Structure 1
Amino acid sequence: MPRNFPILTLNIEDLDDRGYGIAQHGNKIVQVLNALPGETVEAQIFRRKKGGLQGVAKSVLQASNLRVAPREDHFLCCSPWQILDFEAENQIKVSSIKKFYQEAQVDLPDFDIISLPDQTWNYRNKAEFSFYSDDTEQLNLAFFGRDSRSKYPHTGCVLMAEPINIVGRRFLDFLNDRKIQARQLKSIILRYCYAQNKVVACLFFKDESLEFNLEELSSLLDEILQGISIIYSTHKSPAPVVTEIRHQLGCMELTESIYDVNLTYNWDNFFQINPPVFELAAKDMIEQIKGTPDFSNLPVVEMYAGIGTLGLLVAPLVPKVLAVEVTPGSQEKAIRNAEQNRVGNFEFIESLAEESVEAIASNQILILDPPRVGLHNKVIEKIIAESPKHIIYLSCNPKTQAANYAALQEKYKIRWMRAYNFYPHTPHVESLVILDKK
């Protein structure tokens, strides 16, 4: 840490939506990692921000009775709430959703939160690991820290499905045997399929001269690892962008089963990271549609559709589904998924939601599952203008969901709401609201 960043003794008053403990120091707000409400901590400050500071608790002088021991040393990189009792985590997430809606001046009905308490570890079906070489030039898997661009080495993560960790370590051994260094690599992306118990791996490297032997790569494939892509990614970008696919072995597609619908996707397609909990949300969504008196006569439009997951799940209930998504490759997968599930009433438009608002009409059910930034203003304006009869809004960011609903509440009321802990031991939470036109 820079020498001019102080260590402060702080009383933690609250938690924010990024998982930081919140304290006051003079006229500044301090965000503190590894800190819970009610605790007194000594925090090393690592960043100055406009109007505030950020730091990490290096020692806890007075601990909360909600604090538990984290399961891994790098927890602040991946899941800062490993220190929080899980039942308390659920209640804090409910409280945070209520707070977001109160700030948006919206009254909420009573709602609960759904989780799978016996499946709070090893649930993630996607990981991106960086690489780190130590003083002995031994290669390690790594995460970037929240406090800086520093890397924190590890041999796996307790949030990841264990086959992901197994394959990650196997690649690590493969790369170490060949004396490949972290400076030559970017990252490895690993995707896991619950239904198939299979993994696909994409290794991104930035040293254009690096060569891989196909026969040696083939030896990595087995009953768990079914596909490998070796991808050159230009050093001009820090992100794992695809510049050139050098090698591809095996099958890079996975097929997950959600509510008896088989959904095929590629390593770079969006798919929910916790399928068992997502399936519970999908079941609730289907039950809520069945509880809508006129549902069997109403077509569905799904905005921000990904590979068409939600639209395909509800297609048997309604006369027609139109899905809208811009991400390359999503259309091909969505149409293929419709065909393999014998869904004949499904159509797809490859487009930004805000460029296809003409699809929104009054006599329909509108399904929304936007990214964390929420709905585009053009989508909100079209909803207000056309007023679809019913809206199903699944959100990975209740804060933007609350703001979006505030813009719609003159025309809509919340019929039903529920939260889902898709992301145990992190600050993130999913929320589902069913809106009916007033």
Structure 2
Amino acid sequence: MKEFIRENILFFFTFLFVLLIFSYLFYLSTNYIINYWTFSQAHINYSEGFVKRGLFGTTALLIEKKFAFQFVNTFNIFFIVFYSINIIAYFLLLKQYSQFKIIFVFLALSPTLILFSFNDLGGFQRFDVISIFLILFHVYLINLYRSNKISFENYRKKFVLFILPIFFISILIHEIQCWSIPFHFLLIKNIYDEKNYKNKDILIYFSILILLTIFVFFFPINQENIDLMINKLSDRNLWIDAITVASSSEGNINVINYEIKTNLLNTYNLKINLLFLILGIVPINLLLLFLNKKKVIFVTKNTYLYMYISVIPYLTFFAIGDTGRWLHIISMICFGYLGQYPINNIKYCQAARSPSLIKKIILFLIIITYCFFVRLPHGGNLEEKKISIWGGLNEKFIAAYMLFFGKNIDEKYNLNKRFKNKYKNKNEN
């Protein structure tokens, strides 16, 4: 028992730490609407016909009508459940790396991975959480398959019965899910290729998702219908611009020129975006190379190529905005290509985790600085808002201290000024 505790104390402490800090956000969301932009968009519905992102709002409004269960509570529970599942799934995949302490801490606390939406609340309560869930769930299934814990047929059935239906539904909640189609296709294709199976059935599966994607993006939406839908929501005190932009194709197209100028042609913003793009891809790539060379994992030949192809769709973040969210998903995709491989050769692990003391100290200091004092901003014009890469967990600890012990509290730490109190929202009357 003592040996088990000694070997796993870092894992359980880190897991509980991450779960605890997110639990505070969950508690906060029961009193405040943290992301009012997403909350407003979540009300988009099919009352006047098909519109993008209408499924969640249609369902939540129906629940509110039939069961008198307030919309905001459905909204909060949805995100609490998905974030909780994602944290658990992430650490299930991460557990095998707890024996490599430096690697484990880097992956567990990296500002581009699971802690992204905690470090920058602009990335919290986004429907990207479904993309992350599907990425982690699919990777977990492949890890089980590669560990010989489930058969190929078992993996394939779970993919068809769970991942595909959830994927289909999630596209109707938010079209951002479409961008992860190449990731899932290439991940399962790699397995089929290893088994020398024909790809006919997976081509059929993904053709359905592609057809739905085309339908969502090109279905003609009448602006009058959108206006009628918005009028029906007029008593809810929502962010109307958020609904207008999200429910029509024209709204998204109109912002592309602005976002390109902001994210691609602005040197300050571009440097930060490129920095986190590198931090999201290169360390995972190096870990794959290093662990494969040490024979700790066995990486298949197409892994690196497929990883790069999978992130290409997300490079459109320069034209769509909220770049941090997209960089976060890129990081999770890269982690997925690492996480699919179980550690099979334990006898090689000691050699792989024995750098010199000086190297350990240098790596430790770099990783602590990176994980505790750096954050990935969720998006916006970073230069105009004077947002840098500095922040992260240390800023959250300062904020917690100010909230509970601070006197003459600064406006940025005043929750009533920063967030909308859900009990004062007209939606709750």
Q: Give your verdict on TM over 0.5.
A: no
Q: Point out the structure with max Rg over C-alpha.
A: 1
More strand by share: 1
Q: Relative contact order (alpha carbons < 8 A, sep ≥ 6): 1 or 2 greater?
A: 2
TM-score under structure 1 length normalisation: 0.27
User: TM (normalized to structure 2)?
Assistant: 0.27
Q: Which has the higher helix share?
A: 2
